[in-house]
Structure 1
Amino acid sequence: MSTYIVMAPPEYENLAGDPRQSDRLAFVPDGFSFLAFLFPPVWLLVHRMWLILLGYLAVTLLIEVLAQTVGAAAMGLAALIVSILFALEAQALRRWSLERKGWRVVGLVEGDGKAEAELRFLHKAGAAVTVPEQGQERERGRPAPMPIVPRVGSEQVVGLTLGPETRQ
Structure 2
Amino acid sequence: MRSYTLHLPRDSRAGESLGLDRAQIVPDGFSWGAFAFSVLWFFFHRLWLAGLGVLAGLIVVAVLGRVLGLSPFTGFLVTLLVSVLIGLEASSLRRWTLARRGRPVRDAVVAGSVAEAESRLMARWLDPAAVPPHPVAPSFQASPSRGAQPVIGMFPFQEGRR
TM-score when scaled to structure 1?
A: 0.73
**Alignment map for 1:1-168 (pairs within 5 Å):** 1-10=1-10, 12-17=11-16, 19-68=17-66, 69-125=69-125, 127=126, 143-147=128-132, 156=140, 164=143
CA contact (8 A) 1:33 1:88 kept: yes
Larger radius of gyration: 2
**Cα deviation per residue 1:90-123 (whole Å; 9 max; x = unaligned)?**
0001001111111112111121111111111122
Identity %: 35
Q: For the structure 1 residues 28 and 123, does the alpha-carbon distance in structure 2 shift closer, same or farther, using more than 3 Å as the test?
A: same
Q: What's 1:133 paired with?
A: none
RMSD: 2.3
Instruction: Please state how far the C-alpha of 1:21 moved relative to its aligned partner.
Output: 2.9
Give the Cα–Cα distance (whole angstroms) in 1 for the partners of residues 72 and 117 of structure 2. 43
Give the Cα–Cα distance (whole angstroms) in 1 for the partners of residues 100 and 128 of structure 2. 27
CA contact (8 A) 1:2 1:111 kept: yes
Instruction: Please state how far the C-alpha of 1:57 moved relative to its aligned partner.
Output: 1.4
TM-score when scaled to structure 2?
A: 0.75
Name stretches of at least 5 consecutive residues in structure 2 with no aligned partner.
Answer: 145-162
Instruction: Please state how far the C-alpha of 1:7 moved relative to its aligned partner.
Output: 0.9
List structure 1 segments (4+ residues) > 6 angstroms apart after TM superposition.
none
Q: Match of 1:80, as an amino acid?
A: L
Aligned residues: 141
Give the Cα–Cα distance (whole angstroms) in 1 for the partners of residues 131 and 113 of structure 2. 21
Q: For the structure 1 residues 149 and 9, does the alpha-carbon distance in structure 2 shift closer, same or farther, using more than 3 Å as the test?
A: closer
Name stretches of at least 5 consecutive residues in structure 1 with no aligned partner.
Answer: 128-141, 157-161
